[in-house]
């Protein structure tokens, strides 16, 4: 079966997207074993054939003098933001349905204001403006706070304007994670983080927004997205 826009078979397309995600999240190409497992193939010989086909079609190239090193040159035109980035499917905690019935086994966390998910960062807010109720299991796994989303730059990661994102406090994040990024100790944004060399990229999950690039000393991670709270 062929993707008409990219002229790739389904396996070629899936392998290309897997390689791209792995490189973006870790900075290195996946092993042949990882690629084999990702496609549920029985042997690595099939991976060799798929990589050769992708190379012949100009989607990837092998890097000389490096074992199993690959570079992605382009992606299918039909690839969505969730195809391109590490997929994040937030666990939605439903609010406003039956709060009275749920409070026995739940605990509250503070919502510290708004967080930008658009083109312009907003001033970081550290004052509690409200509270949301979370399952008690959350509190056994770390320290959390909430921020209300302004903007639509993360909609293809399932994060909508008006949602309250649940953030686990942390000053470190892996490449590809969605984080609260503090810029110049003043403004905060919710973006996907990717470090490369001496730069930090803050990426949106919306094709209409450009990636923002900063020096490493300008960006501080304040926490990592773990879930979101949405009123129904």
Q: Which residues are catalytic?
A: 153, 191
DSSP-assigned states of every residue in 1-55: -EETTTTEEHHHHHHHHHHHHHHHHHSSPPPHHHHHHHTT-S-THHHHHHHHHHH
Tell me which H or E stretch contains 162: none
Instruction: Decide: 37 and 43 in contact? Cβ < 8 Å.
Output: no
Looking at residue 102, what DSSP letter applies?
H
Task: Give the position of tokens 């992605």.
Answer: 72
Query: In a 10 Å sphere around its CB, with 0-12 CB exposed, 13-18 middle and 19+ buried, how is residue 77 labelled?
Result: exposed
Closest CA to 227 of 82, 92, 87, 114: 92
Helix (H/G/I), strand (E/B), else coil: 167: strand
Longest dimension (CA), the chain: 63
By DSSP bridging, strand 219-231 and strand 91-95 are parallel
Residues 6+ apart with CB under 8 A from 195: 175, 201, 216
């Amino acid at each position: 079966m062929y993707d008409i826009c990219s002229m790739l078979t389904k396996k070629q397309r899936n392998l290309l997207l897997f390689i791209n995600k792995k490189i973006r999240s870790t900075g290195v190409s996946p092993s042949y074993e990882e690629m084999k497992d990702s496609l549920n193939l029985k042997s690595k010989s099939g991976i060799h054939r798929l990589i050769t086909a992708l190379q012949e079609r100009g989607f990837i190239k092998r890097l000389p003098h490096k074992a199993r090193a690959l570079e992605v040159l382009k992606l299918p035109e039909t690839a969505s933001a969730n195809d391109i980035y590490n997929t994040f499917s937030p666990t939605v905690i439903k609010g406003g349905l039956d709060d009275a019935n749920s409070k026995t086994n739940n605990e509250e966390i503070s919502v510290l204001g708004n967080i930008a998910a658009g083109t312009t960062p907003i001033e970081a807010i550290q004052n509690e403006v409200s509270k949301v109720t979370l399952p008690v299991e959350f509190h056994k796994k770390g320290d959390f706070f909430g921020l209300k989303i302004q903007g639509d730059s993360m909609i293809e990661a399932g994060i909508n304007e008006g949602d309250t994102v649940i953030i686990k406090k942390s000053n470190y994040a892996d490449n590809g994670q969605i984080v609260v990024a503090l810029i110049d100790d003043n403004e905060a944004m919710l973006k996907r983080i990717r470090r490369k060399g001496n730069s930090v990229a803050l990426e949106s999950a919306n094709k209409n927004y450009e990636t923002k690039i900063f020096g490493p000393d300008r960006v501080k991670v304040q926490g990592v997205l773990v879930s979101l709270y949405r009123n129904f």
